[in-house]
Amino acid sequence: GINAEYMGKEKRPDHNVSTNQTMPFTCPDLPYPYDSLKDKGISEETLKFHHDKHHAGYVTKLNALTADKPELQAKSLEELIATQDGGIFNCAAQTWNHTFYWNCMSGTGGGAPSGAVKEAIEKTWGSFEKFQEAFTAACVGHFGSGWVWLVHGANGLAIVDTHDAACPLKTGQKPVLTCDVWEHAYYIDFRNDRPAYVKAWWNCVNWEFANKNM
């Protein structure tokens, strides 16, 4: 599965919002301080709003929707994504998607990949530059809200885009990397200029995390 250390299992109590530990589902802290990406173009205000309002909001809704369903409270997010539809799926998937997204970025990220993900990208697209062009086009061209993913499937790597809360886990694909293209991910910093946000996102990409998902 996805590396547990990176997916928020290790708490960092020195920053970020506290969550109510009596709730079955909690919002993991960011894996870095709120100001970590500001020099890359993604502001502290954006991370606070996106994490503390949007990400935490999905967790709150998920707890409310499962409040009288102990059999669902006992499941992992991955199990809920695989088995549920409607509001419970949406909130479980958005909780998982956001945690994965935060880990796809780092204050020391950006640049070109190395290791297994580099080799797999070059095998599929011929070069990192061609992959970057294709992934950027998918992000900029995605209509409405959603996510663009680099996934690992039976035939190697592929770029897929999903609408709203949809997650590749639902269709048995393994996420390697994602870019959130919901407008709330970038509106504070870039207004409606999604291409500028995607450019900033590339400056943050955590290739170490991507390699752990190969």
At residue 153, the pLDDT reads 86
User: Tokens representing 174?
Assistant: 């393994």
Which range, 17-21, 143-147, 152-156, has the best average confidence (pLDDT)? 143-147
Residue in 130, 207, 120, 112 with CA at minimum distance from that of residue 155 = 120
pLDDT, position 182: 97
Q: Are 99 and 76 in contact (CB under 8 A)?
A: no
- For residue 168, CA distances in Å to 43, 76, 173, 196 come to 28, 16, 5, 25
pTM: 0.91
Q: So what's the pLDDT on residue 154?
A: 83
- The least confident of 3-17, 54-68, 114-128, 147-161 is 3-17
Judge whether residue 4 has pLDDT over 50.
no
| CA distance linking residue 192 with residue 196, whole number of Å | 9
Query: What pLDDT shows up at residue 18?
Result: 40
pLDDT in tens, 177-202: 999 999 999 999 999 999 999 999 99
pLDDT (mean) for 107-119: 97
Question: Rounded mean pLDDT of the chain?
Answer: 92
Work out the average pLDDT over 131-143.
98
Write out pLDDT tens, residues 22-61.
689 999 999 999 999 999 999 999 999 999 999 999 999 9
The pLDDT of residue 11 is above 60: no
Q: Residue 161: which residues within 8 A CB-CB, separation 6 or more?
A: 138, 139, 142, 146, 147, 148, 149, 181
CA distances in angstroms from 170 to 57, 59, 89, 90, 205, listed in the order given: 22, 19, 10, 11, 24
At residue 7, the pLDDT reads: 52
Give me 153's structure tokens.
Answer: 């499937």
DSSP calls for 130-195: HHHHHHHHHHHH--SSEEEEEEEETTEEEEEEEETT--GGGGT-EEEEEEE-SGGGTHHHHTT-HH
Give the CA count within 13 Å in the CB-facing half-sphere of 146. Answer: 16
Q: At 114, is the secondary structure helix, strand, or coil?
A: coil
